[in-house]
């Protein structure tokens, strides 16, 4: 298995944390039931006030917020702005029975993931919630994949540099023009398990993040490295 820091492993498999905000307790409880329906990897908190929601967002980390638009004192747009200021990656869904084009545009501009108008079928809301939860999981996987890609990139660059300095080979251009920004993924950790790196490369190729030619270049270097270390 690929060596993964414990904190990263915990983050990858943590339940999706959801906060539901609605001053109508009946609606809030229905949304909670929908969020938990047929899903074991979610944790749902409920509050009935926008100001309380801000306090919870300040003190806890949430992946997804489902908030009513019109609430006394602190409305859904305020909750959206506050949540996005703390965590730009947080997903916020606005649910409202007082929809207008202006509020919809404002919600989108502030980074709302979706804008649901009441009345609507419960199944439609559940679909939006499920899509948002899936997006959160995919984002987590992509962050972990990027971390692994950084490690692979650094090791290959170090290998390239060492061989170039020793006169064994000329410097290599590992990446196609489509991956020109990859050098920004350089970091300071040095991976040790080459076999695990080969597994990572296979995963990157399957996700179409590496071309066949790039994959072969990486793989050949790792196999050569493994052979030289026997």
Per-residue pLDDT at 178: 45
Q: How confident is the model at residue 228 (pLDDT cuts 50, 70, 90)?
A: low
Which residues neighbour 56 within 8 Å (Cβ) at sequence distance 6 or greater? 19, 45, 47, 62
Q: What pTM was estimated for this model as a whole?
A: 0.63
Q: Is the pLDDT of residue 191 over 60?
A: no
Q: How confident is the model at residue 223 (pLDDT cuts 50, 70, 90)?
A: low
Percentage of the residues of the chain whose pLDDT score is greater than 90: 37
* 3-state secondary structure string across the chain: CCCCCHHHHHHHHCCEEEEEECCCHHHHHHHHHHHHCCCCCEEEEEECCHHHHHHHHHHCCCCEEEEECCCCCCCHHHHHHHHHHHCCCCEEEEEECCCCHHHHHHHHHCCCCEEEECCCCHHHHHHHHHHHHHHHHHHHHHHHHHHHHHHHHHHHHHHHHHHHHHCCCCCCCCCCHHHHHHHHHCCCCCCCCHHHHHHHHHHHHHCCCCCHHHHHHHHHHHHHHHHHCC
Q: How confident is the model at residue 131 (pLDDT cuts 50, 70, 90)?
A: very high
Give the residue-averaged pLDDT of 173-177: 48
Per-residue pLDDT at 222: 64
* Domains annotated on the chain, with CATH: 6-120 (3.40.50.2300), 141-228 (no CATH)
Q: What is the mean pLDDT of the chain?
A: 77
pLDDT tens readout for residues 209-222: 667 777 777 777 66
């Amino acid at each position: 298995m690929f060596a993964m820091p414990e904190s990263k492993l915990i983050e990858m498999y943590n339940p999706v944390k959801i906060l539901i905000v609605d001053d109508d307790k009946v609606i809030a409880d229905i949304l909670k039931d929908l969020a938990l329906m047929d899903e074991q990897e979610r944790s749902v908190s409920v509050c009935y006030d926008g100001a309380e929601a801000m306090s919870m967002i300040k003190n806890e980390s949430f992946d997804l917020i489902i908030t009513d638009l019109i609430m006394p004192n602190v409305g859904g747009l305020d909750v959206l702005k506050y949540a996005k200021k703390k965590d730009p990656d947080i997903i916020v869904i606005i649910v409202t029975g007082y929809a207008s084009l202006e509020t919809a545009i404002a919600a989108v501009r502030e980074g709302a993931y979706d804008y649901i108008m009441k009345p609507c079928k419960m199944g439609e809301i559940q679909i939006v919630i499920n899509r948002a939860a899936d997006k959160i999981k995919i984002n987590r996987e992509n962050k972990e994949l990027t971390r692994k890609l950084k490690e692979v990139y650094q090791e290959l660059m170090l290998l390239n540099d060492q061989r170039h300095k020793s006169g064994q080979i000329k410097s290599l251009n590992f990446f196609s023009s489509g991956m020109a920004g990859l050098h920004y993924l350089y970091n300071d950790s040095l991976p040790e398990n080459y076999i695990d790196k080969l597994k990572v490369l296979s995963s990157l190729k399957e996700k179409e993040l590496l071309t066949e030619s790039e994959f072969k270049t990486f793989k050949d270097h790792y196999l050569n490295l493994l052979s030289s270390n026997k």
